[in-house]
Amino acid sequence: MWVSLFIATLTMLCPQTICASGATSEEINNAIVLDGSIPLTWENDESYPWFVEQGKLRSGNSGNPNSASSIAFNFTSTSTTTIQLKYDVTGGSSTNRLQVIVDGVVRNDDYLETGRKREYRLPAGSHRVELRDTLYNTTGNYYSNIYDIMVLEDKGASSSEINNNILSAGSIQGLWEQDNVYPWQLVNGKLQSTNHGLRNTTSTISIEFFCENPTSVEFKYDITGGQSTNGLTIEIDGQLAASDYNENGKNRSYRLFSGKHVITFTYSILNTDNYYYCRIYDLKILDTGTLEDMLLRACLLLTDV
């Protein structure tokens, strides 16, 4: 009875002493990291460790004025990575705040949030993400929760996957070559660039195909953002065919002679961190027949004369 009374009293006086024993890296991964995420290694605060509470990771400095409680995870990726997470922050701007620090840079500084979702884009390499809850001059029961963490590498779609999703029925099959740094992905049946949120970067993809007869090539694309922020260039056999920005459902069509051809799409992000992207879809590469080939060649010969 005396032991129970002692624990109850201690809990009322210093709740964090009982519940904030500090979650291990494995416990954190099991509780708040979603399936499919790459492995994360966690480092917990020594003075005010974070602990798992009802499926969320909670800061451990609640009730301790002028204190900070930090939790951090580290990971290494071989390609561009997307980090998604959610958090709650109780208390106002002068009582409690949560900072998200990515590779030493404060990306967000929030207070009084519920279910706030954040997304960060990082290049390949080793990274550290720290979440720091700071309690100011108050003994109030304020805290931060973090949960639903997902860290995904941008794995580009394979050539066959792209053909199966964006090539129309009856089209000539092509061989796709992906960007080594920012490979394109399939999103809702469309081919999407992956350098969104990363300023001054380019994401390139090309398709090579062979046609025995004259061929018509047709496709559509969407581009978010304006001329000063991003843009798409299209090259056919090394020659510039089009350059666009801020398009929705833009349709392009070209007529090509028989032989081998390469179409290259290069999407560029300029000096902005905004979530801009390009999507390509409804690609048709159709054989138009030998008679038309002869007529086209004849026209060119007459033009040259």
DSSP 179-235: -SSS--EEETTEEE-S-TT-SSEEEEEEEEEEESS-EEEEEEEEE-S-TTTEEEEEE
Q: Residue 291: its pLDDT value, please?
A: 55
Instruction: Say yes or no to pLDDT of 16 above 50.
Output: no
**Is pLDDT of 18 > 60?**
no
Quote the number of domains for the chain. Answer: 2
Element (H, E) at 71: strand 67-77
CA distance 244 to 258: 27
Indicate which CATH number applies to the domain containing 82: 2.60.120.200
Q: Which domain holds residue 276?
A: 159-300
Residue 80: pLDDT over 90: no
pLDDT at 103 exceeding the cut of 80: yes
Q: Residue 114 and residue 146: Cα distance in Å, rounded? A: 10
Distance of CA 135 to the CA centre of its chain: 31
Strand partners, 92: none
Query: What is the Cα–Cα distance from 18 to 4, expressed in whole angstroms?
Result: 13
State if pTM tops 0.85.
Answer: no
Which of 78, 74, 84, 195 has the alpha carbon at shortest distance from 125? 78
Q: Tell me the mean pLDDT in the region 134-140.
A: 95
pLDDT value of position 296: 60
Mean of all residue pLDDT scores within the chain: 89
Q: What is the mean pLDDT of residues 263-278?
A: 92
Confidence of residue 290 (pLDDT cuts 50, 70, 90): low
Position 295 pLDDT exceeds 80 = no
Rounded to 5 degrees, φ, ψ at 124 are -60, 150
Cα distance between residue 151 and residue 73, in whole Å: 11
CA separation for the pair 54, 202 (Å, rounded): 42
Instruction: Find out whether 202 and 265 touch, Cβ atoms under 8 Å.
Output: no
Residue 4 lies in a domain: no
Q: Are residues 165 and 226 in the same domain?
A: yes
227-263 pLDDT tens trace:
889 999 999 999 999 999 999 999 999 999 999 999 9
For residue 290, the number of C-alpha atoms closer than 13 Å in the C-beta half-sphere is: 1
Q: How far apart are the first and last CA of the chain?
A: 108
Classify residue 305: in a domain, yes or no: no
Residue 293 has pLDDT above 60, yes or no: no
- For residue 235, how many C-alpha atoms fall within 13 Å in the half-sphere facing its CB? 12
The token pair at 107 is 């990306």
Quick check: is 7 in a domain?
A: no
Q: Which of 153, 181, 209 represents a domain boundary (last residue)?
A: 153
**3 domain-assigned:** no
Question: pLDDT tens across 185-195, in order?
Answer: 999 999 999 98
- Whether 139 is in a domain gets the answer yes
**Residue 263 and residue 243 share a domain:** yes
Please check whether residue 46 lies inside any domain of the structure.
yes
Mean pLDDT within 25-37: 95
